[in-house]
Amino acid sequence: MDVITSNPALLANAEKFRPYVGRRVRTVVKVNRFEGGNLHCQAPDGPHIVVRQVPRNEEFTQFVEVIGVVEGDTALRAEICTNFGDRFDLEQFSKLCDMANGSYRDIFMLRRRGQDFLASNK
Amino acid sequence: MYSDSGADGGSLFGGGGFIPTQSTGLNDNSFSPGGATKKGGSQSSGLIPLTVKQLSSATQKPSDDNFYVDGHEVNNITLVGMVFNKEEKATDVSFMLDDFTGKIEVKKWIDGQVSEELVELRNIRNGIYVRIYGHLRSFQGKRNVVAFSVRPIKEFDEVTFHFIEAIYVHAFNLKRQGGIVGSTTPASTGVSYGAPPASTMTPNQSVNMRSNISNQYMAPASMPVGSNSVNECQKRVHALFDEPANLAIEQGLHVDEVARRMTGFTKQQVKDAIEFLVNEGFIYSTIDDDHYKSTNG
């Protein structure tokens, strides 16, 4: 297929981690510290989370976008980490996550039959 | 001049705004009588922020090559995403743009000159975020985007912004679909000032719709035509200039004459309205700076 939509990363703040366990998500975090390959950081909606197996070791800016697979309520396994600089509006991003999982999710993800785990969040 | 722009020319550069038809309705009707009779398919649709997922579900009518998203024609789009699989050739630079709702191929043609643009393109690396402006097309059955511009993103709030904007336009179009069914017929698309088209809409809805566009959307997008600033006085002065009797006067109307006939408005208001209409190209000065005539004449 010309346009590939098979491997999306769903916009998510920590609130969405639980229903998304095992799925690929996209979030932006505020870095607290980088230790032993793990990023200890703050999710857009506040909770502290751990990003594991961070794929690179270079200096991180204060804000980092993480594409990764949800492992639990407060844990992600990283695939791609992108420096988002030292100035970023996390609160606004968190609101975007809410919208992208609410009424406007159609423009972000395909509906999956029999897997409408989002219904509870509506 | 506007009526000369063909389907493609018009759709490439005619709009300049984000909301299809509304943004150009003013132009179409006022600059060219032909504007209102354009085929629905060639309505200029402006520049639309989208997600790749929306592109994948864009529909095409068998009758033409145009794409439709949320029931609106999509020509020029803007996307924000990450660059992957970049390939540089002598004639073009292509890559997959992944906005994490999906991936689509983007191609930017190079004109061969070593330009600033080329240097900028060479600096686009895999894994960085870019904003592209481009044209959606279908080539050999595959959808791709021919980019006019590919720029790296430096302030990452722009990523958030892009998706919020895409949501806004999506919501706007859906709301509009629900609100003004039937206004997309050619006869009623080019209505001046967003006055209610001859359709099911009530005037009240029209006012709401208009204020919605101007305040929340068009104004920040710095539209070339400040449709939000068309006030009652401007509307009535324009209507006066458009009266057949006044169109027939070779030198047009004198400012004082207009002021005399515009009861309820001060001379200054009338002068301001005239200045506005001149700036927007609805009227022009004739024998001196005090005489004006409608461009519709």
Q: Using CB atoms within 10 Å of the CB of residue B116, give its burial: 0 to 12 exposed, 13 to 18 middle, 19+ buried.
A: exposed
Q: Do B100 and A67 touch (CB under 8 A)?
A: yes
Provide the pLDDT for residue B287.
86
**What class has domain B231-294?**
mainly alpha
B103 touches chain A (CB under 8 A): yes
Task: List, in sequence order, the alpha helices (H) in B123-249.
Answer: 157-179, 186-189, 203-211, 232-242, 244-247
Contact (CB<8Å) B160/A89: yes
Q: Where are the domains of chain B?
A: 46-179, 231-294
Q: Name the superfamily (CATH) of residues A10-107.
A: Nucleic acid-binding proteins (2.40.50.140)
Q: B167 — contact with chain A (CB < 8 Å)?
A: yes
User: Which of A1, A10, A91, A79 lies closest to B99 in space, CA to CA?
Assistant: A10
Tell me the shortest Cα–Cα distance from A108 to chain B, in angstroms. Answer: 5
Q: How large is the average pLDDT for residues A88-112?
A: 90
What's residue A57's pLDDT? Answer: 62
Whether B82 contacts chain A with CB within 8 A: yes
Using a CB–CB cutoff of 8 Å, tell me whether B55 touches chain A.
yes
**Nearest CB to A109; choose among B50, B53, B103:** B53
Instruction: Show residues of chain B in contact with A81, CB under 8 Å.
Output: none
Cross-strand pairs, B103? A4, B98
Question: Taking CB atoms and an 8 Å limit, are A8 and B163 in contact across chains?
Answer: no
Superfamily of domain B46-179: Nucleic acid-binding proteins (2.40.50.140)
CB-CB under 8 Å, A2 with B105: yes
The pLDDT of residue A112 is 59
C-alpha B68/C-alpha B143 separation (Å) is: 13
ipTM of this predicted complex?
0.90
CB of B153 less than 8 A from some CB of A = no
B-chain residues within 8 Å CB-CB of A85?
A: 155-156
Mean local confidence (pLDDT), A101-113: 81
Yes or no, beta carbons of A107 and B51 under 8 Å apart: yes
The per-residue pLDDT for B15 is 42
Q: Which residues of B touch A93 (CB under 8 A)?
A: 160
The number of C-beta contacts closer than 8 angstroms across A and B is 81
pLDDT in tens, chain B (297 residues): 444 434 443 344 444 455 544 444 333 333 333 333 334 444 456 899 999 999 998 888 777 778 889 888 888 999 999 999 999 998 899 999 999 999 999 999 988 677 788 888 989 999 999 999 999 988 888 899 999 999 999 999 999 999 999 999 999 988 877 754 333 333 333 333 333 333 334 344 444 443 444 333 443 333 344 444 568 888 888 888 888 888 888 888 898 888 888 888 888 888 888 888 888 888 888 888 889 888 876
Tokens for A41, please give them.
Answer: 């950081």
A27 has a pLDDT exceeding 60: yes
Q: Return the domain boundaries, chain A.
A: 10-107
Task: For residue A70, count CB atoms less than 10 angstroms from its CB and return exposed for 0-12, middle for 13-18, buried for 19 or more.
Answer: buried
**Which positions ≥6 away from B39 have C-beta within 8 Å?**
B7, B186
Contact A9 B105 (CB under 8 A): no
**One-letter amino acid of B32:** S
In chain A, what residues touch B100 (CB-CB under 8 Å)? 8-9, 11, 26, 67
Least confident of A10-19, A55-64, B124-133: A55-64
The per-residue b/e assignment along B254-283, b for 16 or more CB within 10 angstroms, e otherwise, is: bbeebbeebeebeeebbebbbebbeebebb
